[in-house]
Amino acid sequence: MPYKDRETNLRYHRDYWKKNPERVRDRKLKKTFGISLEEYLDLLSKQRGVCAICFKPEKTIHGNTKKVQHLSVDHNHITKKVRGLLCSNCNTALGLLDENAERAQSMISYLGHFDNA
């Protein structure tokens, strides 16, 4: 902690984050997912800037910045391997399915019963 008093320390960090957003984002990506900002941007480019599941751009607005959120890094929680980038809706849906392929397939089958009705 660069400063002893809490308010000065918070102000220092807020200023640093505002002045160095890419550096902060790079550090967070490395710490959380083991990828650099450059790797994230490469993956984003390969996905043409859209979600790997629904093929749509992110539309969720971040509560603090009031800007459109970045696509979420999807990863295997056991192996920690990055699978792709997802929009908030698809990332949430995958989490609610417990990343279970059988459950997802069951939902597809269920919905299929109503397509012909």
Distance CA 62, CA 37 (A): 19
Indicate the domain borders of the chain.
6-115
* pLDDT interval class at 13 (50, 70, 90): confident
Q: How many CB atoms lie within 10 A of CB 18?
A: 9
Q: How many CB atoms lie within 10 A of CB 103?
A: 12
pLDDT in tens, 18-75: 898 899 999 999 999 999 999 999 999 999 999 999 999 999 998 888 999 999 999 9
* CB contact at 8 A, 73 and 29: yes
* pLDDT interval class at 1 (50, 70, 90): low
pLDDT in tens, 84-104: 999 999 999 999 999 999 999
Distance CA 11, CA 101 (A): 45
> What kind of fold does domain 6-115 have according to CATH?
His-Me finger endonuclease fold (3.40.1800)
- Between 86 and 17, where is the model more confident? 86
